[in-house]
A and B are shown apart, each in its own frame.
Chain A
Amino acid sequence: KEGYVLKAENEKLFGEFVEHCKTHTQDHPEVVAFLQMKYSKASPDYLSSVEFRNALGRCLTRAQANTAKTFVYINELCTVLKQHSAKRRALIQP
């Protein structure tokens, strides 16, 4: 049940982050699409984790406080999602 709540919270936070980024990256909409693609390929376990919620919350807070660094926080989140991609996890498993 806890995992389900976390997943819902993280989805909401990610939605907020995406909406914020869309506003500040209108010259390059492909960047937000790329972030969403990385999100869709991330491991479901990671997307329902406290670790992801913390990373997402940190990026969202900072992005809202400093709109001149929007791409920095998108890049940070893309890197985190890439590190936890379902494909990568499958390769690491013995």
Chain B
Amino acid sequence: ESFKMVDDDDDPENRIAKKMLLAQIKANYSSG
């Protein structure tokens, strides 16, 4: 029986939030 691993990235809203957070972290480190 095959099954699909549930990943946080499977949720579109979660994927967007993750990208936003990582972008903020990157910007934060770049600025100072």
Chain A contact residues, CB within 8 Å of chain B: 24-25, 28, 30-31, 34, 67-72, 74-75, 78
Inter-subunit contact A68/B22 (CB<8 Å): no
Q: A34-B24, A67-B8, A69-B17 are in contact. List 14 more A-B contacts (CB 8 A).
A: A24-B8, A25-B8, A28-B18, A28-B21, A30-B25, A31-B25, A34-B28, A69-B11, A69-B14, A70-B8, A71-B17, A71-B21, A72-B13, A78-B24
Q: Does B6 contact A (CB under 8 A)?
A: yes
Tell me, in angstroms, the Cα distance from A28 to B22 when the chains sit together: 9
Chain B hits for A70, CB < 8 A: 8, 14
Interface size, B (range):
10 to 19
Tell me, in angstroms, the Cα distance from A25 to B6 when the chains sit together: 14
Chain B contact residues, CB within 8 Å of chain A: 6, 8, 10-11, 13-15, 17-18, 20-22, 24-25, 28
Tell me, in angstroms, the Cα distance from A2 to B3 when the chains sit together: 51
Inter-subunit contact A34/B21 (CB<8 Å): yes
Chain A hits for B10, CB < 8 A: 68
Inter-subunit contact B11/A68 (CB<8 Å): yes
Chain A hits for B24, CB < 8 A: 34, 78
